[in-house]
């Protein structure tokens, strides 16, 4: 069975995409956390940090510099 093709204007397509948007705002109170198990202090000690390591007392900061090229 062949799918039926539908032609939409850009505005119609945008409207249709907004209706299907999965990025809708959800309140924290609307999220069901019931299936997530509670973690004990022992479990929390096993968790490891992921990402760039913190060096020294404060985290690293990204710095960018633009240098003008001279001929």
Extract the tokens encoding 65: 């510099």
| Phi, psi (degrees; rounded to nearest 5) at 33 | -100, 10
Task: Render pLDDT for 18-71 as a digit per residue (tens, 0 to 9).
Answer: 777 666 678 888 889 899 888 999 999 998 878 777 677 777 788 999 999 887
Contacts of 16 by beta carbon, 8 Å cutoff, 6+ apart: 8
Name the band, by pLDDT with cuts 50, 70 and 90, for residue 16.
confident
Extract the tokens encoding 70: 């001279």
Task: Assess contact for 34 and 42: CB atoms under 8 A.
Answer: no
Q: What is the pTM of this model?
A: 0.29
Nearest C-alpha neighbor of 19 from the set 30, 3, 8, 32: 8
């Amino acid at each position: 069975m062949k799918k039926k093709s539908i032609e939409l204007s850009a505005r119609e397509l945008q409207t249709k995409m907004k209706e299907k948007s999965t990025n809708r705002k959800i309140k924290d109170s609307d999220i069901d956390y019931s299936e997530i198990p509670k973690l004990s202090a022992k479990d929390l000690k096993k968790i490891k940090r992921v990402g760039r390591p913190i060096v020294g007392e404060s985290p690293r900061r990204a710095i960018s510099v633009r240098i003008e090229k001279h001929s």
